[in-house]
Amino acid sequence: MTITVKTIWKTQKDDEVCATCKALDGYTWSFDANEPYPKQLIHPLYGPVYDLRPAANGSLIKEKRGRRCRCSLEHQFDVSGAGTDEDSRSDKQTPSIKIVEE
């Protein structure tokens, strides 16, 4: 069984969001839940974009004046390698329809 932690960058999707964060909106990082969670989120293009340590300020993106991005992170957990039997079973449980011929 593998548990994957997915971290998704969410912006407020309005005019105050800077260009960098707009580009990051919806970007997803995937981590193995068995590994220690990283201290920073690294984006292939923008480099370190978020500091996850409790004492840190969060977003590392230098925002231009007049911008207030208020970006947040959404965390999702994906479990794979378990429950596959259940999935295939529920697929087969189609309601039986009786056709009555007159």
What residues line the site for Zn ion (CB under 5 A)? 18, 21, 61, 63, 69
Residue 6, H or E segment:
strand 2-10
Smallest distance from the beta carbon of 10 to Zn ion, in angstroms?
12
Beta bridge partners of 77: 5
**Cβ closer to Zn ion: 56 or 82?**
56
Smallest distance from the beta carbon of 28 to Zn ion, in angstroms?
18
Smallest distance from the beta carbon of 12 to Zn ion, in angstroms?
10
**Cβ closer to Zn ion: 22 or 75?**
22
Gap between the Cα atoms of 37 and 52, Å rounded: 9
Hey, what amino acid is at 101?
Answer: E
Smallest distance from the beta carbon of 39 to Zn ion, in angstroms?
20
**Cβ closer to Zn ion: 48 or 83?**
48
Instruction: Please name the residues in contact with 50: beta carbons below 8 A apart, sequence gap of 6 or more.
Output: 9, 40, 41, 58, 59, 60, 73
**Cβ closer to Zn ion: 39 or 70?**
70
Which of 6, 7, 16 is CA-nearest to residue 72?
7
